[in-house]
Amino acid sequence: MSGESTSQRDVFDDCRRVVHSVLGGYNGTIMAYGQTGSGKTHTLIGDVADPELRGIVPRAVEALGEGIAADDSGAEYEVRLTVVEIYCEKIRDLLDPLGRDNLPIKQGLDGGMFVEGATEVCVADEEQLVGVMEAGLAQRAVKATAMNSASSRSHCIVTVAVEKACPDGSTVSGKLRMVDLAGSERQDKTGAAGQTLVEGSLINRSLSALANVVSALTEGGGPGGGHVNYRDSKLTRMLQDSLGGSARTVLIINCSPCADNAAETLSSLRFGSRALGIKNTVSANRRLNPEALQRQLDEARAQIEALRQEVEALRAAGSSTIDGGGRFTAGATQQGATAVVASEREEPLQQVPGNAGALAHASSSSGVGGGLQAAGPWVEPLACGFALATSMLLYMGFEDWLLRQHGYLVG
């Protein structure tokens, strides 16, 4: 919960753990929702040139850069950036000099959504990443209304993809999606007319589709439940992994402190309250290369062979103890039975992920041995408090699983 006096740094600190988890292979989403003029763009973007007024997006970019620089494991990183906007239900590439629009949305092999054909820039350092991001944001559709002199006329989505090649041959990939939603509008307040009115109508329609998805998810929809119509709008389709999917999601509800906007503020708070019921099943994206899969297979085979030899040795030591099928005979002693049972429960069997058969199947069926492995999954509900202020945060907590899985907190 953040009041009017809350600094931009304090707001980002509440999102920091989601940002850092991207380096561990988790997908994350930070999204700002609220009526027009309530401060969403200020919260997410802010004044990039001012260290105090910078928003979440430039701070997240900086945090990712610091995390990569602090990694002394020998891993190699690749960072890619895309910036798109959804304007009048058409997806426009903000990094394309030609301004291509109406790009299609596709679903990747990992279940995540991406914009096919969107410009994806590989960046070498934090400075270049910020520069590319600023260039993209400068192309965003903005227009003055009676309520906002620089009203965003589109939903803007900044995506930072991080891929880490680990020394053990595995690849860890995470994606951070930061979404500055266009504000909901009332024509009698904005004074919109002509094209501006059309834009406002389409913005409200997509936000209505977003509200419908949230309601469906909180009423039991999603995986294993009822149907959730993500295809009602380009926005909900893009956010499919963020709402009811595998991403960690922070939802910021921006509210105007003006009494004249009380009805819109109440509507935004109700939206946030419904979103509390969404539970995402988060998991890390870890992929083994063919060499790593073969190494695991060889280790499993070696352990199986060692155990086989141990059983053969026990069989040779006393043929009256074990019959040809590996079963104890009537003359087996309690000591012999204990020895064999103990050998079958040796710990090394539990240290290899899966078994030899599963590994062989993964290696042969995938062709390139690039099967996706997921850490988790863990179910993460939303949790938040509410107050009438400039903004407030809804955060999917994940400290418990960090402590349970790794014994420490990130950040």
pLDDT score recorded for residue 398: 45
335 marked ligand binding residue: no
pLDDT digits (tens, 9 = 90+) for 132-165: 988 998 888 776 665 655 667 889 999 999 999 9
Q: What are the residue ranges spanned by the domains of the chain?
A: 8-288+372-405, 290-366
The alpha carbon of 268 is separated from its chain's Cα centroid by a whole number of angstroms, namely 23
Task: Answer yes or no: is 37 a known binding residue.
Answer: yes
> What is residue 383's predicted lDDT score, i.e. its pLDDT?
39
Q: Is 35 annotated as a binding residue?
A: yes
The predicted pLDDT at position 36 comes to 86
**Which residues are CB-contacts of 365 (< 8 A; sequence separation ≥ 6)?**
none
Say if residue 38 carries a ligand binding annotation: yes
Give residue 408's pLDDT: 47
40 known member of a binding site: yes
41 is in an annotated binding site: yes
H runs (alpha helix) in 97-157: 126-137
Q: Is the pTM of this model over 0.95?
A: no
Q: What are the 10-residue block averages of pLDDT along the chain, 411 residues in total?
A: 86 94 96 91 91 94 92 94 94 89 88 91 88 89 64 88 91 95 74 76 91 91 80 94 92 91 91 92 88 87 95 81 51 42 37 34 36 52 42 46 48 43
Strand pairing category for 76-87 and 28-33: unpaired
Q: What does the pLDDT read at residue 121?
A: 95
Would you state the pLDDT for residue 387? Answer: 36
Longest alpha-carbon distance in the chain: 95
CA distance 161 to 21: 12
| Fold (CATH) for 8-288+372-405 | Kinesin (3.40.850)
Give the pLDDT of residue 192: 65
